[in-house]
Amino acid sequence: MKMIKTIVAGAVAALTFSSAIAAEITGAGATFPFPIYAKWAEQYKAVSGNSLNYQSVGSGAGIKQIKAKTVDFGASDMPLKVEELDAEGLMQFPAIIGGVVTVVNVDGVAPGQLKLTGPVLADIYLGKITKWNAAEIAALNPGVKLPDVEITVVHRSDSSGTSFLFTDYLSKVNADFKSKIGAGTAVKWATGVGGKGNEGVAANVQRIKGSIGYVEWAFAKKSKMTHTQLKNKDGNFLQPDDDVFKAAAAGAEWTKTPGFAVVLTDQAGKSSWPITGISYILMHKAQADGAKGREVLKFFDWSFKNGQTAATELDYVPLPSSVVSLVQGAWKAQLKDASGKAIY
């Protein structure tokens, strides 16, 4: 289990908050937003004195913990359906947008050099394509010297929103993958080696020659992993960055989607990254501890208003101001304290 508990030294900025005593809020879930939540927590601590203790344990575990009320908020990269939200007394809102990338450990292949398509990637994860010099991969990469080496597939072993985004995309572009494996936070993989969290997948890819895996882009960059290009729905091969994630998010229909449950995989558009995702926050509508609920909202409110630069530097896409306004409206309408009073 990986945990964030930021302690930032230095002078406290002249920004004041209503709480006179420093508070700590707790959250658990998705590994996808871990780098930006860590940065926001560091910056927020410096100006408010309040800290975030976030357990980067995977979306499935985060959903379980918020349902059990053992944390102040949960985080998931797979949006919950309205029926499940209502049954559990939860509301969800988007927090950040980013991308999932494929990473490889193939001798002689430079970062961003190898080209893959969704159907070929799905066949690799189905165990149909088993060598790096297979005809299907070679046809996409003329001039690239591909070794006669077995492919080792690496996937998440825990319940993961990153896996949901990855398998949702592959299910959309490969009918065989959809029928045999399907989309989900935890699926029955056809082949490969499992790793817990982004960290576990990355460690296996870095250790095993000839391997391929999938991780969140900011994590791949920080770990200096060899990423691949991917061909999008419009037929263009793209390199991952915040611009292509932003392009994929441009068509999101927030107002038409109950519970903000937008999925951005395989979006149309010449510059749209095919495995773009949104990370969501889950909170109980009825806040037994209204003060703690208010602190959670203060953290995200501050992050939405002041964390755009940090998000962009880590190659995430901040929520557009219009979406932030929708989120704030949902906070006012849905989150109440024990007396029934809105906490925002």
* CATH code of the domain covering residue 14: 3.40.190.10
Please, are residues 336 and 342 in contact by the beta-carbon 8 Å criterion? yes
Residue 137 makes CB contacts below 8 A (sequence gap 6+) with 114, 116, 120, 129, 146
Residue 254 lies in a domain: no
Looking at the predicted structure, is the pLDDT value of residue 17 above 90? Answer: no
Whether 117 and 83 map to the same domain: the answer is no
Would you place residue 185 in the very low, low, confident or very high pLDDT band (cuts 50, 70, 90)? very high
pLDDT at 163 over 90: yes
Residue 37 shares a structural domain with residue 95 = yes
- Please tell me whether residues 83 and 122 are part of one structural domain: no
Do residue 321 and residue 220 come from a single domain? no
Encoding tokens for residue 310?
């940090």
pLDDT of residue 3: 39
Domain span at residue 207 reads: 100-248
The whole-model pTM stands at 0.90
Look at residue 256 and tell me if it is in a domain: no
153, part of any domain? yes
Q: 230 and 152, same structural domain?
A: yes
In a shared domain, residues 180 and 208: yes
State the average pLDDT over residues 95-114: 97
Predicted local confidence at residue 13, as pLDDT:
31
Are 227 and 279 within one domain?
Answer: no
Total Cβ atoms within 10 A of residue 290: 17
Decide if pLDDT at 145 tops 70: yes
User: Has residue 160 got a pLDDT over 50?
Assistant: yes
Query: How many whole angstroms separate alpha carbon 106 and alpha carbon 103?
Result: 10
pLDDT for the residue 22: 75
What is the count of structural domains for the chain? 2
> How many C-beta neighbours within 10 Å does residue 139 have?
11
pLDDT category at 21 given cuts 50, 70, 90 is low
Q: Is the pLDDT of residue 45 over 50?
A: yes
Residue-level pLDDT at 251? 83
**pLDDT at position 10, please?**
33
Residue with tokens 């890819």: 205
Is position 257 within any domain? Answer: no
State the pLDDT confidence band at 7, using cuts at 50, 70 and 90: very low
Give me the chain's average pLDDT, please: 93
d(CA 225, CA 207) in angstroms, rounded, equals 12
Q: How far apart are CA 253 and CA 259, in angstroms?
A: 12
> Are residues 91 and 158 both part of a single domain?
no
Q: Is residue 219 part of a domain?
A: yes
* Residues 84 and 149 occupy one common structural domain: no
Q: Which of 213, 248, 283 is the last residue of a domain?
A: 248
Q: What value does the mean pLDDT take over residues 143-167?
A: 97
Q: Are residues 93 and 229 in the same domain?
A: no
Do 168 and 82 lie in a common domain? no
- 258 lies in a domain? no
Residue 268 is assigned to a structural domain of this protein: no
Is the same domain home to 89 and 109?
A: no
In a domain, 300, yes or no: yes
Q: Residue 8: pLDDT band by 50, 70, 90 thresholds?
A: very low
